[in-house]
Structure 1
Amino acid sequence: MKRDKPKAVSMPFSLVPLLLLIVPLAEIGAFIVIGREIGVFWTLAMVFVTAVVGSILLRIQGFGLLNRIRKETEAGRVPGRELVHGVMILIAGVLLLTPGFITDAIGFLLFVPAIRDAGWALIKNRITIVTNARFSDGGFDRRTKSEESPTIDLDNTDFTRDPDPNSPWNKD
């Protein structure tokens, strides 16, 4: 039975240079329009405040997310959703620290859990989560290394804590 390889989802390469050109031009236009309306000082103040608020949100939501990842891992589940949320929060933080109103708007949207859930719903069927499980005849074998090795049960006569005076390792 032939298995189809998962298809990689990627952005067409021709869009990347276009985005690298369009986003800064749109940000410059937004700075000009907003600067005319509220003044240069208030425009710069807004950029500074959004960077501070973004760093605070990044810290709060980042630590909360790390706790959720830890809980999922301790429960024996793969924290796929939480990891994707973590990437989105990281992107949101970078966008908020980048000066600009358009990047700030996108960054604030990525801090909203419902928006991140919508993003997760779009990509969850397109990604493959690989764990350290091994494949055996009956399917995936999720035993750990400690379960693979045989347990040796020793009696009190088989094991003592006193050093053996005839041992070559004893250098007394």
Structure 2
Amino acid sequence: MRYLALFIIVIPAIDIGFLLLSGKTIGFLPTVAFIILTGVVGAYLAKREGLQTIKKAQEQLAYGQLPGESVLDGICILIGGTLLLTPGFITDLFGFLLLFPPSRKPFKWLIINALRKRIQKGNIKIIK
């Protein structure tokens, strides 16, 4: 949780700095256009990847498999799409990384490790 507070303060501050620098370098209108473009492209990619992930999860369930990998993909896609809709270059970079399957793997590894640590500490209980 302490890292979350750090991200809530530091990442927006860095994004604002880059937006100001971009506005000064390339101009106000191109910066706004870029923000809008990344939001639209991000929404499209999130929808496409999300639908593919839902289809994959349904196929896994149809074959009697647990869709664990698909659930992690869905979490990454949801976070990535949200980051792309927020204005800023740093959030856009992380949003695109979370939407593309090859670059999503390290993030899924981080999620799995975070969940594993919480389970080991007893913060999350698994009921069988």
**Shared fold (TM-score, shorter chain, > 0.5):** yes
Distance in 1 between residues matched to 2:24 and 2:52, nearest whole Å: 40
Sequence identity (%): 36
1:15 corresponding residue in structure 2: 3
8 Å contact from structure 2 (residues 43, 85) kept in 1 = yes
Q: CA deviation at 1:123?
A: 4.3
1:69 corresponding residue in structure 2: 57
**Residue 16 of structure 1 aligns to which amino acid in structure 2?**
L
8 Å contact from structure 2 (residues 98, 107) kept in 1 = no
Where 2:84 maps in the other structure, the secondary structure is helix
Distance in 2 between residues matched to 1:123 and 1:21, nearest whole Å: 21
Distance in 2 between residues matched to 1:121 and 1:59, nearest whole Å: 23
Structure 2 residue 18 is matched with structure 1 residue 30: yes
Task: Pick from 78, 92, 95 the counterpart of residue 80 of structure 2.
Answer: 92
Which structure carries more relative contact order (alpha carbon 8 Å, separation 6+)?
Answer: 2
Question: CA 1:89–1:39 in structure 2 vs 1: closer, same or farther (change >3 Å)?
Answer: same
Q: Greater share of helix residues, 1 or 2?
A: 2
Distance in 2 between residues matched to 1:32 and 1:70, nearest whole Å: 44
Q: Where does structure 2 lack aligned partners over 5 or more consecutive residues?
A: 120-125
Q: How does 1:1-172 map to 2 (within 5 A)?
A: 13-124=1-112, 126=116
Q: CA deviation at 1:122?
A: 4.3
Distance in 2 between residues matched to 1:123 and 1:32, nearest whole Å: 32
Q: What TM-score do you get using the length of structure 2 for normalisation? A: 0.84
**What per-residue deviation string (whole Å, max 9, x for no partner) do you get for residues 95-144 of structure 1?**
0001111100100011111122233344446287x68xx6xxxxxxxxxx
8 Å contact from structure 2 (residues 35, 88) kept in 1 = yes
| RMSD, aligned α-carbons | 1.9
Q: CA deviation at 1:55?
A: 0.6
Q: What TM-score do you get using the length of structure 1 for normalisation? A: 0.64
